[in-house]
Amino acid sequence: MAQSDYDLSRPLEKGSGLRQGLTSYGDSHFSLFLRKAFIKAAGYSDDALSKPVIGIINTYSGFNPCHANVPQLLEAVKRGVLLSGGLPIEFPTISLHESFASPTSMYLRNLMSMDTEEMIKAQPVDAVIAIGGCDKTVPAQLMGGISANKPLIPLITGPMTPGSYRGVRLGACTDCRSNWAAYRAGTIDLEDIAGVNEELAPTSGTCGVMGTASTMACITAALGLIPLRGASAPAVSSTRLRVAEETGTIAVTAAKSKMRPQDILSKGSFLNAITALQAIGGSTNAVVHLMAIINRHPKLAGEITLSAFDEIGRRTPLLVDLKPSGDNYMTDFHNAGGMLALLHTLRPLLDLSAKTVFGKTLGELLDATPFRPFDLSRQIIRPLNDALYEASSLVVLHGNLAPDGAVMKASASKDRRLLNHSGPAVVFRNTEDLSRRIDDPDLEVTPDSVLVLQSIGPQGHPGMPEAGLIPIPRKLAEKGVKDMLRLSDGRMSGTAGGTIVLHISPESNIPSSALGIVKDGDNISCSLQDRKLELHISAEEIARRVEERRRTTTSEDSVPVRGYRALYMSHVNQAQDGTDFDFLTAKGGRI
């Protein structure tokens, strides 16, 4: 009996026709006839076509060094599929690299998710392996894959190994930022910064610290969708290839048992993912991505909000000692036991009944794969009673400046006094204004000032750029100031650190936004303790300024747009909902 739902090996008997998919030509028998003709053109026999068809999403691109190992992974994945009795067929989707996706990769994430969803739906695949790694790729694939709801197994490309310059280990991209800050402050020279540049990204694979890519890989493991070591095995390692082979096997099993992501993923799975996010000191970007992923799930959309991140944070310690919150690199995390060690440690905080793609619950999976801690593992993945940071690595703030929420990675603060701080605002209207004035010797700013950057939200600077890490004004950096309280409606790279409030909602470009009407000298306070972000002017004054801004914004300010940008600008939702398009969420929207 044929095992593929699409059954392209079925003979052209009288009355037979396509059972699955669109009968695009009206006549389902003729549709089968055509499909058979064209699949034969690809060289497949009826025997091959009777097997479960495992689609493999190939996101290789010459512009994406984080995915440079995809050709080797493909070979290993296909081996796994074939050994398990499936037929592997690869197909491309968009590939996004952080540095080569203008204006931002976040702007294109939803496009990639649409590409992923529609190609999974359109093609005769019984299960899909999605190969991805760089920051926005895994979120886009999970968003699209959950919406398409065919069996889906992610395969992560894996982290880079660290480089070394003059005896100091280096890794993208926490060390990109710290070295650049040192160069700006004049403590290292041009020769050294050029030497560092050579070594920051020394192999293929994703950034080697707990940035967004590594965070999303760990989250995917916590969701029960990949082998646990698949979150951390280096891109250039035989383990990574063996994970790829195993992924092929898992996909064939998932195709046969029809394990769909909407059935596997429950509220418990996502609460586990958020627990893991807090324990690894993961990227703030993961908050936006997780909200987008959750809101793609018909049973969970609206069930988990930003507050869940804060509530889980209050009971979850930061355990993983990796940059930017700690000191080490992803390869150290892998050698210390990776997600297997971490999930065993977090066991009392997890929903062990959550399903996994292995057909076992998370609890059963952990029971079947014990882990014995050793000295190095305890240093990198701390026990619950010896945490790196007691609780609340990532916090959610509310207040009149962020009525719908804002996010801060408290564990990455470099000056903890700033976590409960108030001071006068120094406001930059947009990124151009920031780059024009931040190093101006006449800028009126002190270490107590609160730096505010407007217009980098989902709509304001389409794609919500990672410009939230506002640089310390040069004149203060030269005096040794390393951290200041900084606020914006944008994002920050998961590899960056400082006392930085991000994703302020509603963003400054929304007419009613309080962030949009902040002026130089307004007093702003941030209280980690009370989870508050407040602008200390009266509600009447806020309303007056909002009204004034409405009156003075002319229609000339809005210029016509076309193409994807028009779609993006009309439909992107706010950070607290995931910056997805309204019509892509499970609740849908109107075109």
Options 183-191, 210-218, 254-262, 316-324: segment touching Mg ion (CB under 5 A): 210-218
182, 102 Cβ separation under 8 angstroms = no
User: 403 CB contacts (<8 Å, ≥6 apart)?
Assistant: 505, 506, 514
Options 206-214, 421-429, 540-548, 557-565: segment touching Mg ion (CB under 5 A): 206-214
Site string for ligand FES, 10-49 (x = CB under 6 A): ----------------------------------------
Interface with Mg ion in residues 285-344 (CB under 5 A): none
Quick one: CA dihedral 425, 429, 493, 201, positive or negative?
negative
- Alpha helix segments (H runs only) across 201-346: 212-222, 238-257, 261-264, 267-280, 285-294, 306-315, 330-335, 338-346
Give the integer Cα–Cα distance in Å for 133 and 187: 34
Interface with ligand FES in residues 109-138 (CB under 6 A): 134-135
Query: Residue 1, Cα to own-chain centre: how many angstroms?
Result: 41
Nearer to ligand FES (CB atom), residue 172 or residue 271: 172
Structural element, H or E, at residue 32 = helix 28-41
State the minimum distance, in angstroms, from the CB of residue 494 to ligand FES. 8
Give the integer Cα–Cα distance in Å for 219 and 494: 14
What are the start-end ranges of the E strands in 444-548? Answer: 450-453, 485-488, 500-505, 523-527, 532-535
Phi/psi of residue 503, nearest 5 degrees: 55, 35
Applying CB under 6 A, among 53, 66, 469, 485 the residue interacting with ligand FES is: 66
State the minimum distance, in angstroms, from the CB of residue 82 to ligand FES. 30
Joined together, the tokens standing for residue 393 give 């690595």
State the minimum distance, in angstroms, from the CB of residue 207 to ligand FES. 3
The verdict on 206 binding ligand FES (CB under 6 A) reads yes
Nearer to ligand FES (CB atom), residue 89 or residue 170: 170
The verdict on 117 binding Mg ion (CB under 5 A) reads no
The verdict on 213 binding ligand FES (CB under 6 A) reads yes
Applying CB under 6 A, among 207, 319, 357, 381 the residue interacting with ligand FES is: 207
DSSP, res 8: T
Angle at 151 between CA 149 and CA 153, to 5 degrees: 115
State the minimum distance, in angstroms, from the CB of residue 132 to ligand FES. 10
User: 591 CB contacts (<8 Å, ≥6 apart)?
Assistant: 583
Look at strands 450-453 and 532-535 and give their pairing.
Answer: unpaired
State the minimum distance, in angstroms, from the CB of residue 296 to ligand FES. 22
DSSP, res 550: H
Give the integer Cα–Cα distance in Å for 443 and 449: 11
Nearer to ligand FES (CB atom), residue 288 or residue 542: 288
What are the start-end ranges of the E strands in 81-122? Answer: 87-92
Cα 16 to Cα 8, 52, 78, 117: the distances in Å are 11, 20, 31, 28
Give the integer Cα–Cα distance in Å for 480 and 540: 40
State the minimum distance, in angstroms, from the CB of residue 234 to ligand FES. 13
Nearer to Mg ion (CB atom), residue 6 or residue 107: 107
Nearer to ligand FES (CB atom), residue 145 or residue 211: 211
Applying CB under 5 A, among 204, 214, 459, 493 the residue interacting with Mg ion is: 493
Residues paired with 398 in a beta bridge: 532
State the minimum distance, in angstroms, from the CB of residue 105 to Mg ion. 8
The verdict on 212 binding Mg ion (CB under 5 A) reads yes
The verdict on 507 binding Mg ion (CB under 5 A) reads no
- Smallest CA-to-CA distance from 36 within 57, 50, 54, 52 is with 50
Interface with ligand FES in residues 518-577 (CB under 6 A): none
Nearer to ligand FES (CB atom), residue 211 or residue 468: 211
Give the integer Cα–Cα distance in Å for 155 and 132: 6
Options 190-198, 203-211, 248-256, 465-473: segment touching ligand FES (CB under 6 A): 203-211
Nearer to ligand FES (CB atom), residue 240 or residue 344: 240
**Residue 493 interaction partner, one of Mg ion, ligand FES, none, beta carbon < 5-8 Å per kind:** Mg ion
Quick one: CA dihedral 561, 295, 110, 588, positive or negative?
negative
283, 215 Cβ separation under 8 angstroms = yes
**Residue 206 interaction partner, one of Mg ion, ligand FES, none, beta carbon < 5-8 Å per kind:** ligand FES
Options 206-214, 378-386, 540-548, 582-590: segment touching ligand FES (CB under 6 A): 206-214
Give the integer Cα–Cα distance in Å for 546 and 435: 26
434, 347 Cβ separation under 8 angstroms = no
State the minimum distance, in angstroms, from the CB of residue 135 to Mg ion. 4
Quick one: CA dihedral 500, 503, 504, 507, positive or negative?
positive
Options 132-140, 147-155, 235-243, 523-531: segment touching Mg ion (CB under 5 A): 132-140
Options 62-70, 129-137, 318-326, 566-574: segment touching Mg ion (CB under 5 A): 129-137
Nearer to ligand FES (CB atom), residue 86 or residue 494: 494
How many residues interact with ligand FES (rule CB under 6 A)? 10
State the minimum distance, in angstroms, from the CB of residue 515 to ligand FES. 28
Options 36-44, 204-212, 407-415, 481-489: segment touching ligand FES (CB under 6 A): 204-212
Nearer to Mg ion (CB atom), residue 450 or residue 496: 496
Residues paired with 421 in a beta bridge: 526
Give the integer Cα–Cα distance in Å for 77 and 531: 46
**Residue 459 interaction partner, one of ligand FES, Mg ion, none, beta carbon < 5-8 Å per kind:** none
**Residue 246 interaction partner, one of ligand FES, Mg ion, none, beta carbon < 5-8 Å per kind:** none
Site string for ligand FES, 161-180 (x = CB under 6 A): -----------x--------
250: left (phi over 0), alpha (psi -120 to 50) or beta: alpha
**Residue 66 interaction partner, one of ligand FES, Mg ion, none, beta carbon < 5-8 Å per kind:** ligand FES
Cα 66 to Cα 36, 70, 204: the distances in Å are 36, 9, 6
Which residue ranges make up the site for Mg ion (CB under 5 A)? 135, 211-212, 493
Q: For binding to ligand FES (CB under 6 A), which residues are involved?
A: 66, 97-98, 134-135, 172, 206-207, 211, 213
